[in-house]
Structure 1
Amino acid sequence: MSSGKVSKKPSILIVDDEKNQRELLSKFFEKQGYKTFAASTATEAEEIFRKQGFDSAIIDLKLPDFDGIELLRRLRSIDPDLGAVILTAYGTISAAAEGIKSGAAEFMEKPVDLANLAKVIESIIEKRQIIAENKLLKEISSATIPADIVAESPQMKEILSIVARVAPTDATVLITGESGTGKELIARLIHQNSKRAQRTFVPINCAAIPETLIESELFGYEPGAFTGARKRQIGKLELADGGTIFLDEIGDLPLLVQAKILRFLEDGQFFRLGGTQPVKTDVRVISATNRDIKSMVSEGKFREDLYYRLNVIHIHIPPLRERKEDLVVLAEKYLKQFARKHGKPIKGFTPEAKDRILRYPWPGNIRELRNTIERAVILSRREFIQKELIPSSHHDYTPATYEESELKTLAEVEREYIIKVLEYCNGNQSEAARILGLHRNTLRNKLKEYGLL
C-alpha cells in the first residue's frame, strides 16, 4: 500500500571524537527532521558508511585514527555525490582548500553556528536530490522509455522529470488525460524505475469490467461467496503484492467499490468476497482517468476522500494536438517501425502529409496516430506517404476567420467524427474503436454520452 510519503528522512553522518559535540549535533538535526548516526572515529564512520550510506556528512578535521579530509576522500570514493561540512578548531587556509577539493561544501570553525550549519546541510541535500533526479531522468531517457513516448515538447519533458522524482517513492499517482494519450505507458515507466520494478505490474481497466464483477476482480472471493464460486479466487490486489496495481479509468468504479479501495489505502488490507479474514498486501497504487474527476467529486459521483488519497502526485498528459513538437517525431518513429514490420521501402512523408499530420487534431491521440500510420504504410504505393493517406477532417484544424455561430465545441467535433468512422465501418463498433484508438468500452461510453446508443 502506498504510504503517501514522497521521500524518506534525509540522513547525516556525524563524525567527531568529542562526545558532547556528537550529541549536540545529533539532537539538533534530529529536531530538524533528519536521521543521524554519530561515530567517534574515522574507521567507525567508514565502516557504517559502507553498510548504509548517508545523504550528507559533518566531519571533524582532527580524529584519533586519521584526519577528516582523508575520511572524506574515502567516503567520496564510495559515493562521489556526497557533500560534507568539515569542522575544526584548527582552521587554516590550506586545510580549507584541501577540504573543499575533497568535496566539502564548506569549512567551518568550532564553536559552530548551528543555524548557519543547518542552511549549509539543507543546501547539500537539495543539490544531492537534484543530482539523483537528473541521473534517473538520464537513465529513463536513454534506456526505459517505450517507443510510444516522445519527449520533444516542454510538457513531456516536465512529465519525465516528475516520473524521475516520483518513481523511487511509494506515493500514489493519479494520471489524467484524454483516451489514447499514453497514461498506462507513463504508469509502467514509473513502475519500471521504482524499487518494485522486479515485482508484478498489474493493470486493470475499471471501465471494461461489468459493475457486478469489478469487486471480485479486485479483491477476489472465497468458495460460496456467490452462485458459481466453487473455489478461492485471488484478486488483482493480491496478485500485485510487492508490486504496482494500475487502476485505469478509475472514474468508472462504483461508489461501493470506491469505499473499499479507500479502506485498503488507509490500512493496507481488505477482505475477499465472502471472506472473514483480512488479507494484507504491500501494493503501490497508480490510477488514471480520461474523465473530469474533480467535477465527478462535486456531483457526488466520486468520493472526495478517495480522490485526495489517489492524487498525492498528479500527472496530466496533454493531448497530441497540444504538443506539436512530439507529433511528427512520433509519426516518423511509427513509419520506420511499420515499414520494417510490413517490408515496405518507405522513406518518409511528403511535406503535404506532414502538414496534415500537424493540422489534424487526433482525437484518439497516440492510438489513433499509430493506427493511421500503420494503415498509411500498408496502403502506400510510393516511397513517401502522400497526404491522401492522412486524415483531413475537422477542416484540417487550420486557423481561419469564422463567425462565432460556425464554431463548434470539441465534444461536437468528436461526436461528428465518431459518427463518420461508424459509417465508414458500417456500424461495426469494434472496428471503429480500433480506428479511433479507443477501447471498445470507452467507445460505448462515448456513444451513450452523445446519445448515439
Structure 2
Amino acid sequence: MQQTAQILIVDDDQDILVAGKMLLKRHFSQVDICNTPDQIPKLLAAQRYHAILLDMNFGPGESSGEQGYRWLEKILSLEPQAVVVMITAHGDMDVAVEAMKRGATDFIAKPWHNDKVLATVSSAVKLSHSRAEASELRSANTLLAEVTSQNTQPIIADSDAMQQALTMLERSAPTDANVLILGENGTGKELIARAIHAQSHRHNKVFMAVDLGAVAETLFESELFGHRKGAFTGANEERIGRLLAADGGTLFLDEIGNLPLHLQAKLLTVLAQRLVTPLGSNQARAFDVRVIAATNLPLEQLHDEQRFRQDLLFRLNTVEITLPPLRERREDIAPIAEYYLKHYCRKYQKDDKRLHPSALAQLQDYHWPGNIRELRHTLERAVILSQSQILEGEDFQLTSKAKLPQPDNQAAVATFNLEELERQAVEGALKAHRYNISHAAKALGLTRAALYRRMEKHGL
C-alpha cells in the first residue's frame, strides 16, 4: 500500500536513479529523480520532500565526499527541517558518520539491499511527518501565546484607591514571584493577572486561566494534572493537564478560595515539587510555570486554617495585590462607563451614544455590588434597549436594583409572576453572597453555568 510521501533521489549514476525510482514508487506516492545537484534549489522551491536521498560524490574520480557535505549544507540551509539520507560507497563509514554529524538523518551504502532501502526511507518519512507536526504545534503554541497574552481590555484606573495595586503590579510583573490577587467578584482580578503576564519575561508564552470554582472536585486532578488513556471510566484518550499545557508560561488559578482542603493539599504538593504525575501514569513530569491566584475571600477567611491551608497561602502570596471595589473608586466610574459605552456601540453597530449628566451622576452614586462586571452589563443592556442617542437615568434601571424589594403586610400586592420571582431570587442570592457566583449558585441549587444563563436572561 502506497504512503502519501514525496521522495527525491539525487545521484549522477543513472542506473541508481532508475533502480531507486522503480523500487520506491511502489511504496510512495511520488518519487522524483535528479542527476545533477545544481537542480536541487529549484526542486526544493517547487516541492516539499519528505525524504531526500543524496549521493556523496558527483563526477568521475570524486571520492572525498566533500560535494555531498556541501550539498547537504545547502539543502539544510534552504529547508532546515529536511530529512536527508546519504548514499555512500560501500565501506565509507567514516564519510557517512561525518555526514550525520553535519545533519544527515541516515545513510544507504551502495550496492544496496532493497529491504534496507525501504526500511531506511520509511523511517525517514516518519521522521519528516513528526518534524512537520512538531513545527505546526510550535507555531500553534506561539499563536496561542500571542492571542492569550493580548490584553485587549485596558486597565482604567486614575483613582488613588487603585494606585497602590498598580504599583504592586509594576514591581512584581518582571519577577517570577507568585502573586495572589484579592478582591470582590467583578473587580478585574483576571485583567490584572493578564497585565502581570504581559509585563513579565514569560509574555511570549501561554497564559492559562483555570476557574477552580467551575471545576468539579472529581475532575480537579484530570484538569490540572492530566490523565493517560484508560486512567478512569470515560478517559478515552490521553489529556494534557493545565499545568503542563502552561509550561513556560503563566497559570492563573481563579477562585482559589473555593478549593476544598483535600484538593488544596494536592495542589500544594505539586507546586512545591514542581513535578506533576498525570492520572494513570507512574512517571512524574517537571513543569515551569508562574502561578497567579485570585480569590474573593476576605483575608480573615483566608487566614482561617479550617478554610484555607496556610502553607499553600504562603506559597501563593509572595506578592499580594488587593483590588478595591468600584464603590471605593468612584472617580473611575465615568471613564470606565465611557469605554464600555463606545465598546458596545461598536459591537452592536449603534451610533455613538452619550451619557446625560444626571445618568452619570446615578452611575456614580450607585453602590455596584457586582463591581465593574455589573457596570459593564448595565451599559450593554442600555445600549441594546435604548432608542435615544443620550442615555438617561431610566435607561439603567438602577433605582429598582438599588435594594431588594421588602415584604409588607399587604399580601395582595405581592407578585406571583414566575419570571419576576426568578429574577428576584437570583438577584437576592447574588447580593447575599456578595456576587460570589459559586456560592450564589449553590444557594439557588443551580450550576454556575445555569446561574450565568439566568443572569444574562434578567440582565443582572
TM-score by length of 1: 0.57
Structure 2 counterpart of 1:207, which letter?
Answer: G
Return the offset for 1:318: 0.8
How far apart in 1 are the matches of 2:259 and 2:405? 25
Whether 2:165 is the aligned partner of 1:170: answer no
Structure 1 counterpart of 2:318, which letter?
Answer: V
Which SS does the other structure have where 2:218 is aligned? helix
Assess if the C-alpha contact under 8 Å between 2:151 and 2:198 holds in 1: no
With over 3 angstroms needed to count, the CA separation of the structure-2 counterparts of 1:430 and 1:226, relative to structure 1, is: farther
Return the offset for 1:395: 8.7
Assess if the C-alpha contact under 8 Å between 1:183 and 1:317 holds in 2: yes
- Corresponding residue for 1:191? 197
How far apart in 2 are the matches of 1:301 and 1:241? 29
Return the offset for 1:275: 2.0
> How do 1:270-289 and structure 2 match up within 5 A?
270-289=276-295
Assess if the C-alpha contact under 8 Å between 2:153 and 2:191 holds in 1: no
How far apart in 1 are the matches of 2:219 and 2:172? 32
> How do 1:305-344 and structure 2 match up within 5 A?
305-344=311-350
Identity score, percent:
45
How far apart in 1 are the matches of 2:300 and 2:436? 23
How far apart in 1 are the matches of 2:381 and 2:250? 34
With over 3 angstroms needed to count, the CA separation of the structure-2 counterparts of 1:373 and 1:428, relative to structure 1, is: same
Pick the aligned partner of 2:254 from 227, 248, 259. Answer: 248
Structure 2 counterpart of 1:376, which letter?
Answer: A
How far apart in 2 are the matches of 1:224 and 1:430? 43
Return the offset for 1:423: 6.7
- Corresponding residue for 1:376? 382
Pick the aligned partner of 2:422 from 423, 427, 441. Answer: 427
TM-score by length of 2: 0.57
* Paired residue total: 287
With over 3 angstroms needed to count, the CA separation of the structure-2 counterparts of 1:235 and 1:388, relative to structure 1, is: same
Runs of 5+ in structure 2 lacking a partner? 1-148, 407-414, 452-460
- Corresponding residue for 2:367? 361
Structure 1 counterpart of 2:326, which letter?
Answer: L
Which deviates further from its counterpart, 250-259 or 222-231? Answer: 222-231
With over 3 angstroms needed to count, the CA separation of the structure-2 counterparts of 1:431 and 1:341, relative to structure 1, is: farther
Return the offset for 1:334: 1.0
Whether 2:441 is the aligned partner of 1:444: answer yes
How far apart in 2 are the matches of 1:364 and 1:295? 20
How far apart in 1 are the matches of 2:298 and 2:333? 25
Pick the aligned partner of 1:215 from 189, 213, 221. Answer: 221
Assess if the C-alpha contact under 8 Å between 2:296 and 2:436 holds in 1: no
- Corresponding residue for 1:269? 275
Return the offset for 1:293: 5.1
With over 3 angstroms needed to count, the CA separation of the structure-2 counterparts of 1:291 and 1:393, relative to structure 1, is: farther
Q: Deviations over 1:212-243 (max 9, x none)?
A: 11121011112332222233221000100000
Structure with greater Cα Rg = 2
Which SS does the other structure have where 1:314 is aligned? strand
Q: Deviations over 1:93-133 (max 9, x none)?
A: xxxxxxxxxxxxxxxxxxxxxxxxxxxxxxxxxxxxxxxxx
Runs of 5+ in structure 1 lacking a partner? 1-142, 397-412
Which deviates further from its counterpart, 375-384 or 315-324? Answer: 375-384
> How do 1:12-411 and structure 2 match up within 5 A?
146-147=152-153, 149-292=155-298, 294-393=300-399
Structure 2 counterpart of 1:427, which letter?
Answer: E
Larger RCO, structure (CA 8 Å, separation 6 or more): 1
Structure 2 counterpart of 1:272, which letter?
Answer: P
- Corresponding residue for 1:70? none
